[in-house]
Amino acid sequence: MIARALDTGTPAAWVTGDEVYGADPGLRADLEARQTGYVLAVAASHPVITAAGSCQVRKIAARLPRWAWQRYSAGAGAKGHRFYDWAWLAIDPGKPGHRHLLIRRNRHTHELAFYRCYSPRHVPLPVLVKIAGIRWTTEENFQASKGLAGLDDHQVRRWGSWYRWTTLAMLALAFLTIAAATEHTHHPAPAGQIPLTRNEIAALFSTLVIQPRHDARHRLRWSTWRRRHQHRARTCHYQRQARQR
């Protein structure tokens, strides 16, 4: 699927994925041949080759000194920036391109996550952190497609039926995403309210278009109240996080 998308000219400078994809040497080799960068998660037992030889990534993490860790945000969330401690080191010496092992450490639980990284040109650590954080956006899109567009509500058993259902669900989510992006661009949110989200647009679309209600004004007032409440909650979360840093 990735190869087909890239072959048709889909613009993509990076590919990211979970441990299933990081453990696939064929996928990594194909992306490297295409000069496409990747940040792919790998298991703690995954071996990599460094200048000192082959070693499991969890053993490498255990040997890192304190100064090797740097704090960066993996992206903004509803409750503040997602700060983690990050470390990286070069792997696969002698191979073309720039290859790194990226390690993420939870600031509170010290839980670790590991990524194999490749880029045809040198990139700084914050770039790899940003790409690793994009997976969170992808997972959020999957959750939204299930909750808003019924992606996981099918009860089909054949490929054709599944393909049609999935395509329609993705089109529905694309409609909500484009509608939200259009609102953000052309109709900025009033002061004290968050911008219209996909969830809010879906609720309004159902109430005002699919099954019009007699209490439309009441529903619109509820929508405004929710956006104000969410704005206050988000502001409080970010302010508290700023005080704790």
The reply to whether 126 and 44 lie within a common domain is: yes
**pLDDT category of residue 213 using cuts at 50, 70 and 90:** low
* Most distant CA atoms of the chain, gap in Å: 72
More confident of the two residues 217 and 49: 49
Span 102-159, pLDDT tens digits: 999 998 899 999 999 999 999 999 999 999 998 888 888 888 899 888 998 888 788 9
Kindly state whether residue 142 falls inside one of the protein's structural domains: no
Q: How many residues does the chain have?
A: 245
* Cβ contacts of 63 within 8 Å, gap of 6 or more: none
* Residue where a domain stops, chosen among 100, 134, 168: 134
16 plus 73 within the same structural domain = yes
Q: Are 114 and 183 contained in the same domain?
A: no
Q: How many C-beta atoms lie closer than 10 Å to residue 132's C-beta?
A: 24
Q: Are residues 202 and 157 in the same domain?
A: yes
165 and 85 share one domain: no
* CA atoms of 212 and 204, how far apart (whole Å): 10
Question: For the chain, what is the mean pLDDT?
Answer: 87
In this structure, the answer to whether residues 98 and 182 fall within a common structural domain is no
- The 10s digit of each residue's pLDDT in 50-64 is 988 899 999 999 999
Task: Specify whether 126 is located in the same domain as 28.
Answer: yes
Residue 43 backbone dihedrals phi, psi, to 5 degrees: -75, 160
- What is the number of domains present in the chain? 2
Q: What is the pTM of this model?
A: 0.78
What does the pLDDT look like over 191-207, one tens digit per residue? 888 788 888 888 888 77
**Range of the structural domain that residue 161 is part of:** 150-244
